[in-house]
Amino acid sequence: MGRTYEGLPISEGIALGPVRTVRWGVPAVPHLTVAEDGIEAEVERFDEACTWARGRLEEMRELTAGRLGAMEARIFEPQLMMLEDVEVVEPTLLYIRENRLTAARAFEWRMLELQVLWIRTSNPMVLDRLNDLEDLLVRMLHRLLGLPEAGDLVWDGKPAIVVARNLTPSLTAQMDPSRVLGIATELGTRTSHWAILARSLGIPAVGGLVNAFEEAERSREAIVDGRIGRLILDPAERDREIYRERRVQILSWEEDLSEVARLDSVTLDGQPVALRANIDLPSEAVRAKEHGAEGIGLFRTEFHVMGRNSMPEEEEQYQAYRQVVCEFPNYAVFIRTFDLGGDKFPMFLHMPAEENPFLGWRAIRVCLDRLELFRPQLRAILRATAHGDVRILLPLVNDVEEVVRVRELLSEEEESLRKAGIPFYSGYKLGCLVETPAAALDAAELARHCDFFSIGTNDLVQYTLAVDRTNARLADLYNPFHPSVVRQLHQVSRVGRAAGIEVSVCGEMAANPLGAFLLLGLDITALSVAWPALPELKKVVRSVRIEDARAAARKALAAPTSRDVTRALAEGIGPAVDLSAFSGRWSLSLS
């Protein structure tokens, strides 16, 4: 009997194979002191280790740049900066000179102090910084203690699924996708640095799997479904059959992408559906196009600030936006302005510690407060409008005044560009992400100031249900089919139609067949998902009738519970789509 763990989707794809657990950690450091006349030699040992570590990290950065790209290579910048940071170096030297600690002991002490300090900030993004810190700590201690270099995965050469409590950028950057079939971890989110590398490597990955590691050590085989965030240990034969069939189907689509991409995205009864892609990096635009994307429905721009200690320049941003827009000359590209704060904050902003960062200073609030960051981005996006259909997407809008203020800023930047003789298209569109109950309830007023709505279902579900979507312990409570969510989706769709503006969805819900069926039934016919999911979503669209979806949506709107909602949708979609791989997720029962 297989044991199923529900976690967080991190990297698309399905993997089935033997389990390989990976333990790594900080080595034990002997509690030794040095003699008075040995202090300076210990200082030299520390300096030598820093120099060596810097060299190794720079090598890794260059290798990653060549293998995956410059953006991914930037992931190693925080560790390089730590080696130069006076808050790291000076106290370590002080411990050596005044406490006569060995270099290894002194460095460990200082890093543990920083760990405690950062944990007290209560910011979830600290988890990534702690992960970087631990990666550097392990590397340095191995050098100072004369141990073999850390970071190599001990391997017998056979392809396997890696299960670990957590991973580091160093470990992940060295993974070979032909040997690492999939990744499953207890810690880590989609924004973790190792997770970004896993996606770039194309390795299916799931994180946030509570208590899965110990069980994995007693397991022989596993299935990783990076699409829905699921790990199955020692799967039963029925599970194997379901995932083998699904993987074969997905692989067949991958092998024949050009044919799938050419198929019209239209329901059986003739309703066209716009299928767009969500991307994190400009380089993904090419793959999105190959997978049949009709434009980009969500271009996250936080990659510009990843691992940096200074704000990105306007020109650099413009070149990145232009690259994506030029890839889709006949389709819309929705560029989301910086969604910083919450679980994403750059070092140069010096974000304050907050009790509830997801309810705090983030997204449009940060941008409107820090115009020296926001204005260059707006100028860069405006310049990109000269190359295609660019739509500016504002995150976490709650109030029309936020949209009005952005329009004022855009007007000022337009005037500045005109005076400088820099081309742009003044007919661009400005809209907002509807991802809070406030925005959904105030949609009628927002529609007077927006050219479109894009519903971010991930945050909308989180804020409506007061459930942290990154907390795997609350996974059962995070349910996009909750009646309150369904009614808000209906409300926004209805308002959008009345106002004559497009309503699209760019959250995880759109990638679930049942979620897509519901959205179509609510007359939301523009969906944006991670590009690997596009072929499967197109298959769903081409297998259903819009009238069946509308009938099922009417029943779902009247349903009293999440389970009743999913039941109404499952009955409505019938045998047209195989939902077996999604059973158990979000209260979906097929029994």
Closest CA to 64 of 207, 194, 179: 194
Q: How far apart, in whole angstroms, are the C-alpha atoms of residue 577 and residue 562?
A: 20
Distance CA 451, CA 410 (A): 14
List, as one string, the DSSP characters of 183-216.
EEESS--TTSHHHHHHHHHT--EEE--TTHHHHH
Whole-number Å distance between alpha carbons of 189 and 207: 6
For every residue of 510-540, which 3-state class applies, written as one string?
A: HHCHHHHHHHHHCCCCEEEEEHHHHHHHHHH
Phi/psi of residue 560, nearest 5 degrees: -85, -20
Taking the C-alpha atoms of residue 494 and residue 482, their distance in angstroms, rounded to an integer, is: 19
CA separation for the pair 11, 162 (Å, rounded): 14
Catalytic status, residue 367: no
CA–CA distance, 512 with 257 (Å, rounded to integer): 20
CB atoms within 10 A of CB 71: 20
The alpha carbon torsion through 202, 204, 210, 214 (nearest 10 deg) reads -100
For tokens 């804020």, name the residue: 463
Distances (CA, A) of 463 to 45, 208, 282, 293, 484: 51, 20, 29, 29, 11
> Could you tell me if 63 and 86 are in contact, meaning their C-beta atoms sit under 8 angstroms apart?
no
| 484, two tokens | 């309150």
In the set 50, 367, 432, 506, the catalytic residue is 506
As a whole number of angstroms, the distance between CA 413 and CA 170 comes to 41
With a CB cutoff of 8 Å and minimum separation 6, the contacts of 412 are: none
Q: What's at 200, amino acid-wise?
A: S
**Which residue in the block uniquely carries the two structure tokens 């925080």?**
78
The residue from 193, 304, 387, 490 that is catalytic is 193
506 is catalytic: yes
Going by the DSSP 8-state scheme, the letter that residue 353 receives in this structure is P
Q: Give one DSSP letter per residue of 229-287, joined into a string.
A: TEEEES--HHHHHHHHHHHHHHHHHHHTHHHHHHS--B-TTS-B-EEEEEESSTTHHHH
Q: What residue ranges in 458-525 does DSSP mark as E strands?
A: 502-505
* Catalytic residue ranges: 193, 506
